[in-house]
Structure 1
Amino acid sequence: METIYALSSAGGRAGVAVIRVSGPATAAAVEALTGAKSPRAREATLRKISDPETGAALDRGLVLWFEGPASFTGEDVAEFHIHGGRAVVAGVLGALGRLPGLRLAMAGEFTRRAFENGKLDLTEAEGLADLIDAETEAQRRQALRQMEGALGQLYESWRGRLIRILAYAEAEIDFADEELPGDLLWRLGPEIEALASEIQSHLDDGRRGERLRDGVEVAIVGPPNVGKSSLLNRLAGRDAAIVSDEAGTTRDVLEVRLDLGGVPVALADTAGLREAEGSVEKEGIRRGLAKAHSADLRLVMVAAKRGGGVEGDFELAQPGDLRIVNKTDVGGGVEGALPISALSGEGIEALLATLTERVTALFGASENPVITRARHREGLEACGRELERALAGLRDDRSGELVAEDLRLAARSLGRITGRVDVEDLLDVVFRDFCIGK
């Protein structure tokens, strides 16, 4: 196994930079750069750091030592906490690169070694990546729960139950001459059905975790000149969109990012919906309609007219969408719609509060583990299909071998989510519960 090293903190000028080393030659690297053996585990030690080839001083910094397997990667790990100037970082990295047996780490290689050495499962590794990328409070909470193992523990508990079911099915097939309960395979039906129901309930979450991780899409839709771009600018707090009395000013979908109650939101201003006057506007309207249909939530806007009535309608509104009447400073509102004036700001706070409440209720961080990636969803859907096939096999009185194969495939689908697929688990259950070969 090669020893790897890399800058673990962000690049660029900073007060402190952290360089991490992991692998069998880590202790030799520490001694080469500091002239002394590795410090006691988990104790920060101030040392002079020098170039082993020239003896030139590079910096004075803290050195931390983590002896494997009690480390992030499961290997011997050292961290050099040095000053964050570019020249200092380049000097220490260059010195490490000239040591025998060391090479620069590839992207994600420290975390991959942690997974390979059993320190993290795949969902925990993904949670770590999401925690690093988190931009909002709700994203941080969701990623931290996943990194701490909440999602992996749920899937492993399901896999453990499935392995037990499969072990009983295999026992009836392979150890028919032993003193086992009769019709054992048939007795597994309710357990399989209960597990399939739990997994389906987990899948029927409205893609809450995925939306929180990737961002919720909210589209402002309506006819031209009702104030969609003005509302976008008001909510963004800046002039993100061009505002004009001329119809058809917005020719494409324009997005701004918002943080609503800790939920990341991509707010899109779409082209005004009308009969297009040119090919460019026609394409803008097509994209606007596509965004309106694909968005998680729509702000369907009309505008009040002087003397009464409104311009536009709420035809595109779906259950859960917000209906808005703009320009209430010149006209009246509509029952069931939020009255605002994007020009004066009247009603904007109430709109933001309502939108935040709606977004957090639908997509905010949940106390229960939720699916955060398409990979998880695909694995769970595959597992569910195999469980349903196993249940159908029991109803159709198919052979035990075929039902067991369906259960085996279901267990593998779950195991692929966490990265733990181990047939030894199956053997342990068989011999523990039935004392075969005692």
Structure 2
Amino acid sequence: MSTIFAPITGRGGAVTVLRLSGPATLDITAKLTGGLPPPRRASLRPLTHAGRHLDEALIVTFPAPYSFTGEDVAEFSLHGGRAVLAAVSEALATLGVRPAEPGEFSRRAHQHGKMDLLEAEAMADLIAAETEAQRAMALEGATSLHTACASWRERLRQIMAQQEALIDFPDEDLPPEVEAALLSGIAALRDEMRAALAAAPAAERLREGLEFVILGAPNAGKSTLLNALAGEDIAIVSDIPGTTRDAVGVRIDLGGVPVHITDTAGLRNTVDVIEAEGVKRARARAAKADFLLLVAAPGEDFPEAPSGIQSLQIHTKSDLGLTGGFSVSAKTGHGMAMLREKLAAAAQELTDTKGAAALARPRQIACVRDTEAALDAALQLDDPELRGEELRTAAQALARLVGIIGVEEILDAVFSGFCIGK
């Protein structure tokens, strides 16, 4: 296996940390530093190559297997200038070390048993987290899923042992309650997985972010409302009806949940071809939204929400004297704090997994769905051998969730989303 390197810190800081991993790591570190530093102790050493003084760096080595990747690892804390990083990278390349591919450090950690696929995906989600709720899900959600998966695997192992007993001792007059307990255990495990699958859309929404759409007639105050929620001028505001022709949006944090709020064209019948297309797109976005802000100016009716999508009716321009219902004024700020609270509550409700294991990725959902389907199929069978085969199918699908067997074809998909330094 080749030795790889990559910076594991962002650009522009005072310090850049460069990580090496692979069989030649310690030898190359010794060549650059004039002698191998003690393991797991930070040592200030000059970096030199081909007679050139490259930098003064803090060096830490982690001999295998006690490292992030399970291989020999070294980390160089360099001065943060681009020229320093370029010079050290060039020296490493000359010595036969190649730049790491995205996720390659974490992939090697997985291959050496340092992390399973659930832990790898949780790390990627933690790196990408924008809000507190996403951070919490990446840490706590992964732990709960890991715990649930361990429980599922152990229960399935016990079920399979009971099933093998029914297969191996068909003439031993086993009590009927043995098979009844077996079927009850299969059903309970299947139902728990169904609950996790039912909660999966909420976890996915939290990981990806929600889509809130503002819908209303022209001049209902949609663009002004968007700007007020964003805290900056995102959309053009004008007294001319039909100013907004296309969707304009901004991503904000509502109660720890990332939400993309989109302003749309005012809903009305029009002969203007461009405006008509804007209205068509507004309705299409509304049909795919997670939540709708239905706005109406004084004396106007609220637009109708597509079936099945939660919404909030908001009277705008309360500074003009409108009373009754929930009203706000983006101009004076009246009701805006309450509106934010209502939207945050809606966002949190839409991303609440209600205590079920947080299946936040399509791969995870597919593995649990396949396991649940095999368990359900096993319940429909009376023949012990056929039921046992479905249970083995369930075990294989569940094993794919953590990456124990049959995972080579999915490794690229899991790790390709990582940054280079991970």
Report the secondary structure of 1:207's partner residue.
Answer: helix
Query: What's the offset of the Cα at 1:163?
Result: 2.5
TM-score, L = length of structure 2: 0.90
Counterpart in 2 of 1:260? 254
Go from structure 1 to structure 2 and tell me whether the alpha carbon gap of 1:177 and 1:358 turns closer, same or farther (over 3 Å shift): closer
Go from structure 1 to structure 2 and tell me whether the alpha carbon gap of 1:56 and 1:368 turns closer, same or farther (over 3 Å shift): farther
Matched, 1:285 2:279: yes
- The answer to which structure, 1 or 2, has the higher relative contact order (CA under 8 A, 6+ apart) is 2
Which of 164, 176, 184 pairs up with 2:169? 176
Counterpart in 1 of 2:343? 355
Residue type of the partner of 1:10? Answer: G
2:370, 2:278 → 1: CA distance? Answer: 38
Q: Is the 8 A contact 1:227 1:303 kept in 2?
A: yes
CA deviation vs aligned residue, 1:117-136 (integer Å, no higher than 9, x gap): 11111111111111111111
1:322, 1:5 → 2: CA distance? Answer: 51
Unaligned runs of 5+ in 1: 305-309, 423-438
2:152, 2:21 → 1: CA distance? Answer: 34
Unaligned runs of 5+ in 2: 407-422
Report the secondary structure of 2:295's partner residue.
Answer: strand
Matched, 1:244 2:262: no
Go from structure 1 to structure 2 and tell me whether the alpha carbon gap of 1:364 and 1:186 turns closer, same or farther (over 3 Å shift): closer
Matched, 1:407 2:391: yes
Residue type of the partner of 2:79? Answer: H
Counterpart in 1 of 2:9? 9
Report the secondary structure of 2:393's partner residue.
Answer: helix
Q: Is the 8 A contact 1:141 1:365 kept in 2?
A: no
Counterpart in 1 of 2:101? 106
Query: What's the offset of the Cα at 1:181?
Result: 4.0
Counterpart in 1 of 2:43? 45
TM-score, L = length of structure 1: 0.87
Counterpart in 1 of 2:25? 26
2:174, 2:120 → 1: CA distance? Answer: 42
Counterpart in 2 of 1:307? none
Residue type of the partner of 1:43? Answer: R
Query: What's the offset of the Cα at 1:361?
Result: 3.5
Query: What's the offset of the Cα at 1:366?
Result: 7.3
1:284, 1:155 → 2: CA distance? Answer: 47
Go from structure 1 to structure 2 and tell me whether the alpha carbon gap of 1:187 and 1:34 turns closer, same or farther (over 3 Å shift): same
Matched, 1:145 2:135: no
Which of 220, 227, 230 pairs up with 1:226? 220
Query: What's the offset of the Cα at 1:276?
Result: 3.1
Query: What's the offset of the Cα at 1:182?
Result: 5.0
Counterpart in 2 of 1:425? none
Q: Is the 8 A contact 1:48 1:60 kept in 2?
A: yes
Matched, 1:204 2:210: no
1:80, 1:179 → 2: CA distance? Answer: 67
Q: Which moved more, 1:91-100 or 1:28-37?
A: 91-100
Identity rate of aligned residues, in percent? 44
Residue type of the partner of 1:230? Answer: T
1:236, 1:164 → 2: CA distance? Answer: 54
Report the secondary structure of 2:125's partner residue.
Answer: helix
Report the secondary structure of 1:203's partner residue.
Answer: helix
Counterpart in 2 of 1:376? 364
Q: Is the 8 A contact 1:221 1:272 kept in 2?
A: yes
Residue type of the partner of 1:6? Answer: A
